[in-house]
Structure 1
Amino acid sequence: MGRNTRKRRTPLATKAIAASAALALGGGGLIWANFYASAHESDNQSWGGNQTKAATAQVATLSCPDVGQKLTNVPAQARTEVAGELANLDRQITDAYQRLATTRDAQARDASFVQNSILQPLQDRRKVILDRIKLEITRVGGTAPASLDTLATCTAQNANQTTAGGQQQGGQQQGGQQQGGQQQGGGQQQGQNGQQGNLGGQAGNGPVAADFVDITKVQANVKAKPRAGRNASTGTFTTRCGVNANKNHNTDNVIVAPGVANGAHHLHDYVGNQKVNAFSSNQTFLQAGTSCQNRSDLSSYYWPVVRVQDGTQDFDQNADGGGKEGNVGRILTPVQAQIKYVGSPRSKVVAMPQFLRIITGDAKTTTNGLANANAHWSCTGFENKVQLTTQYPICPQGSKVVRTFAFQSCWDGQNVDSANHRTHVAFADANGNCQNGFKAIPQLTMRLVYDIKPPTVQNGQVKNAYAVDGFPEQLHKAATDHDDFISVTKNGLANKIANCVNRGQNCS
């Protein structure tokens, strides 16, 4: 795995972040019921470069096919090497996006610059990695997808082609959970402020005004939960693991990029298991401590941090995964983090298997589209009425921002992970049923509450914006929010959770 060593940025990037700070723009009632059917300038200028010059650029970001999601049948013997090569693809996109963001002058002078100097070289480099992936799969007797060669080509994406605001009308999630009200709200915001002329944000890669909406102006869009059947499992199990007050952070992702430092390219909060990084193993998890009050809960719960872009910086402003990759601003610690397991409206649940891994949502929805999006943004006092996927809420005075996650609640009964980290688990259908031989498991739900001064939108610009960390080319869109989980328990806790839920009890 030596070839996955992260390349260091040039000193220019460090200087760029400092420069971009000066350009800053102005510096419960949780709906568990709704979660059953949820469904990812000159060459020496900064990420954002000169805001005025960025406004004239046609290209907002790069869109590359998500190779990992196409690899549904990688032999187990090849998965570690393939995961490393997928991390190399992510690194290539990050580097290409930095090139895009720091060459606005050249792009303005030469209409073919992006294609010839960024996209074509990126395609050539991707072909090399795709060939390696095919080799790793076939070396152990597997069959690589025939379409793999077609995934080398990336395209330039304009601002109005991303999932900003209400522009993407296909934003319904599985089961149609996020529909008309939210999209209408997005349209209202778009109509009031118009399409943004630059990429916004303290680092020049978002968010923009269209990424925010006044939640009081969004129509209600929360559907009622499925009706509970005779065999429903109606209990709950709450585990109290804190809010990451001890600031356990890193930019790794041991699920998607094991053995690769900075594999996430953005910063995570970790609660629960305290020894999670790119190089952790199942044995590491079992030997670690936990932030959970229940000492038998060694599970890892982790999510991208939220930052407020008010002109401030944080400890990682010059670090990979932080300011060097467009994740800037002051990191916010949740004021509340609730982790709860709930049951199925249709059946009893089976215990989660040890080391089950689940990712919910899609960190790359800006370029992938919303098929796997599972972001839920709301405000206290509004959670039973409005849940947003493609926009961040502007909450009224006295109300706090709420992020909620509902993980897949159906398991294939055999695998604790899959090649694309999706196909071994699934969401229940709109009625709460698991399909195709999948078994119901306790559904992990999480609710994170943040005390955030409401952003303001003036003259098409957002001041004091907040945003979730992400891959730099994803432009900090709200829909890219996602959450990760590794189930690690001892002393029979997994069975205790399932039994509590099945008996209709409320346990902790």
Structure 2
Amino acid sequence: MGRNTRKRRSPLATKVVAGAAALAVGGGGLVWANFYASAHESDSSHHRTRSAGAQVATIQCPDVGQKLRNVPRGARPGVDKELARLDEQITEAYARLASTRQAQSGDSAYVQNAILGPLKSKRTAALDRIGINIRRGGGDAPGGLDRFAECRGMGADQPGNGDGDGDNGNGNGGQDQDNGQGQDGGQDGGGQDDGQNQGDNGNGAAGPFADDFVDINDVQPNSRDLENGLAANGDGGSTGSFTAVCGVNENNLFNSDNLIVAPGVDNGAHHTHDYVGNQNNNAFSSDDDLAGADTSCQNQGDKSTYYWPVLRLQDGTQEFDANDLGGGAEGNVGKILKATEAEIKFVGNQQSDVVAMPKFLRIITGDAKAFTNGVANANSSFSCTGFEDRQVTDKYVLCPEGSQVVRTSNFQSCWDGQNIDSANHRDHVAFVQQDGSCANGFQAIPQLQVRLVYDVPAPTVENGQVQNPYAVDGFPEQLHKPITDHNDFINVMDENLMNEVVDCINGGEDCQ
């Protein structure tokens, strides 16, 4: 399917996940050994004893990018490249973790000595280079950066402890969430001890697991507070809307770059994105490139880029990226499912008029690393058509026959009035407060709401196992958890169109 728009492979990217690429087999998926096999077990009353090494399902590292608040603009390119290098180091270490299960089962210190220890050394060097870049740029590097070097092992059923992230007022905290794994269901986080590979799903993917799915009928209506910083449109402020009609990626524009988080770094996302709107979005695109690009939007004044991780059906299909980094070589396997509908809408604020977004404003909502970071910035949700009063952030949904899967992302709608981005890509924007207003002198801007609808064959969940599941693409160490869903936006509307958007919303009109 489609085409990968990656321009070239940078030297940094060619070296990353060599271990992951070496693990690619057949369709490009990673083969994960059963990491409970060969461990000493007892199975009375569902209590199991295993060696410490065998219990490590993935790797949790502090998310350094979320810790950096004051990075001089001139230092950001170098810092961004080092942050991308940290991601690559984790991916490489995870590939080694996944390929050495037999060694781990025989040596409880293996993970620490052979994987986490060397990873710490590499991270220490990268963190030192981050400090050097900041100082060369005229800034003051945070003291003690090396305290973020150490990583730890965690299980598939363990929540992230939040060490990798801060709330920053941008998350939708207060939700009743459990970090993407729900109850253990007596399966120890999805590990089946019946001789089948953990999370294999018949196609070499690490997750999702049976516990990552919920029947939509078992989700309580209105259990997620969609008025809390999410659906900010109300009766007392700016009540209009503007709908951007930009298609569903009919042009098959895919790549595994992330221009916001990792500019200039090939495969910076480590997973594949769908793109609508701007048709020249890759890691190497400048603002001028974006402004001069074609757009899939009906209104040609909207050259904004709207992008999100692809949804895949893990059915063994060999996609165009089956052997590529970002695709099968990093555990993102199966058939890419294109949305049947992509509703892109801008709405207003409960308390006030909205002001125009600045051109090239960048916003990320959700957190691609929420499984290991903790849920402070988790935001996207899943539902089913006909059941959209039931929204769940930490589960994939099982929809009844005739109902479609819905992914919803509602973006931050308060802006600091000055910056189009920030060092951690979050501080310049925020969600509204409980009463719908913006705090800290921030200004209300049009809130972007993205609703994606998919025809997804319902997975089969039986005896604690899931067959032919669907999942969002993600960093391999995130185990395809639904809590990691996210959405990205760069505003490239021309001035006249942005003014029209603002006028429609403030005037209480519904426009497109």
Partner of 1:101: 98
Partner of 2:33: 49
Q: How does 1:485-500 map to 2 (within 5 A)?
A: 485-490=489-494, 492-500=496-504
Match of 1:434 among 438, 451, 460: 438
In 1, distance between residues paired with 2:20 and 2:474?
A: 22
Partner of 1:120: 117
- Measured against aligned partners, the alpha-carbon deviations of 1:301-328 in whole angstroms (never above 9, x if no partner) come to 0000000112222111100100110101
In 2, distance between residues paired with 1:323 and 1:7?
A: 17
Which moved further from structure 2: 427-436 or 194-203? 194-203
Q: Secondary structure at the match of 1:146?
A: coil
Change (3 A) 1:54 1:258: farther
Match of 1:334 among 316, 339, 344: 339
Contact persistence 2:366–2:380 (CA under 8 A):
yes
- Measured against aligned partners, the alpha-carbon deviations of 1:422-445 in whole angstroms (never above 9, x if no partner) come to 000000012211000000000000
Match of 2:300 among 292, 295, 302: 295
Change (3 A) 1:407 1:224: closer
The structural deviation recorded for 1:199 is 3.8
Which moved further from structure 2: 337-346 or 312-321? 312-321
Contact persistence 2:233–2:347 (CA under 8 A):
no
Match of 1:252 among 251, 257, 260: 257
Change (3 A) 1:324 1:232: same
- Measured against aligned partners, the alpha-carbon deviations of 1:433-474 in whole angstroms (never above 9, x if no partner) come to 100000000000000000001111111100110000000000
In 1, distance between residues paired with 2:503 and 2:89?
A: 47
Change (3 A) 1:143 1:239: same
Match of 2:460 among 456, 478, 481: 456
Q: Which structure's residues are more often helix, by fraction?
A: 1
1:352 maps to 2:364:
no
Change (3 A) 1:224 1:115: closer
Match of 1:411 among 407, 415, 429: 415
The structural deviation recorded for 1:141 is 1.9
In 1, distance between residues paired with 2:74 and 2:434?
A: 37
Contact persistence 2:247–2:276 (CA under 8 A):
yes
Change (3 A) 1:341 1:71: same
The structural deviation recorded for 1:176 is 5.5
In 1, distance between residues paired with 2:171 and 2:267?
A: 31
Q: Secondary structure at the match of 1:252?
A: coil
Partner of 1:17: 25
Q: How does 1:198-217 map to 2 (within 5 A)?
A: 198-201=198-201, 202-217=203-218
Match of 1:271 among 262, 268, 276: 276
Contact persistence 1:185–1:218 (CA under 8 A):
no
1:141 maps to 2:142:
no
Contact persistence 2:438–2:444 (CA under 8 A):
yes
- Percent sequence identity over aligned pairs: 56
Contact persistence 2:157–2:181 (CA under 8 A):
no
The structural deviation recorded for 1:65 is 0.3
Q: Secondary structure at the match of 1:500?
A: helix
Q: How does 1:142-221 map to 2 (within 5 A)?
A: 142-162=139-159, 174=171, 178-179=175-176, 190-191=184-185, 195-197=189-191, 198-201=198-201, 202-220=203-221, 221=223
- Measured against aligned partners, the alpha-carbon deviations of 1:140-175 in whole angstroms (never above 9, x if no partner) come to 2211112411000000112221469xxxxx9x9956
Partner of 2:46: none
In 2, distance between residues paired with 1:293 and 1:428?
A: 30
Q: Secondary structure at the match of 1:454?
A: coil
**One-letter amino acid of the counterpart of residue 214, structure 1:** D
Q: Secondary structure at the match of 2:238?
A: coil
Partner of 2:14: 6
The structural deviation recorded for 1:270 is 0.4
Contact persistence 1:358–1:422 (CA under 8 A):
yes
1:361 maps to 2:366:
yes
Change (3 A) 1:64 1:184: closer
Q: Secondary structure at the match of 1:129?
A: helix
The structural deviation recorded for 1:18 is 1.7
- Measured against aligned partners, the alpha-carbon deviations of 1:19-48 in whole angstroms (never above 9, x if no partner) come to 786xxxxxxxxxxxxxxxxxxxxxxxx441
Contact persistence 2:383–2:405 (CA under 8 A):
yes
Partner of 1:80: 77
Partner of 2:309: 304
Match of 1:484 among 464, 482, 488: 488
**One-letter amino acid of the counterpart of residue 136, structure 2:** R
Change (3 A) 1:20 1:174: closer
- Measured against aligned partners, the alpha-carbon deviations of 1:309-360 in whole angstroms (never above 9, x if no partner) come to 1222211110010011010111000010000000001100000100000000
Q: Secondary structure at the match of 2:379?
A: coil
Change (3 A) 1:54 1:3: farther
Contact persistence 2:20–2:92 (CA under 8 A):
no
In 2, distance between residues paired with 1:8 and 1:223?
A: 40
**One-letter amino acid of the counterpart of residue 49, structure 1:** A
CA RMSD of aligned residues (A): 2.6
Partner of 1:286: 291
Contact persistence 2:311–2:471 (CA under 8 A):
yes
Partner of 2:400: 396
**One-letter amino acid of the counterpart of residue 302, structure 2:** D
Q: Secondary structure at the match of 1:53?
A: coil
**One-letter amino acid of the counterpart of residue 322, structure 2:** Q
Contact persistence 1:380–1:400 (CA under 8 A):
yes
The structural deviation recorded for 1:217 is 1.3
Extract unaligned runs of 5+ from structure 1. Answer: 22-45, 165-169
- Measured against aligned partners, the alpha-carbon deviations of 1:156-212 in whole angstroms (never above 9, x if no partner) come to 112221469xxxxx9x99566633xx769975x644766421344433411000100
The structural deviation recorded for 1:10 is 5.3
**One-letter amino acid of the counterpart of residue 274, structure 2:** D
Change (3 A) 1:235 1:77: same
Contact persistence 1:48–1:54 (CA under 8 A):
no
- Measured against aligned partners, the alpha-carbon deviations of 1:88-111 in whole angstroms (never above 9, x if no partner) come to 000100000000000011101111
The structural deviation recorded for 1:54 is 8.9
Change (3 A) 1:205 1:495: same
Moved over 6 A (4+): 182-186, 226-230
**One-letter amino acid of the counterpart of residue 127, structure 2:** L
Contact persistence 1:268–1:304 (CA under 8 A):
yes
TM-score normalised over the length of structure 2: 0.87
- Measured against aligned partners, the alpha-carbon deviations of 1:105-154 in whole angstroms (never above 9, x if no partner) come to 11011111100000000000000000000011111221111241100000
Contact persistence 2:27–2:318 (CA under 8 A):
no
Q: Secondary structure at the match of 1:276?
A: coil
The structural deviation recorded for 1:495 is 1.0
Change (3 A) 1:501 1:464: same
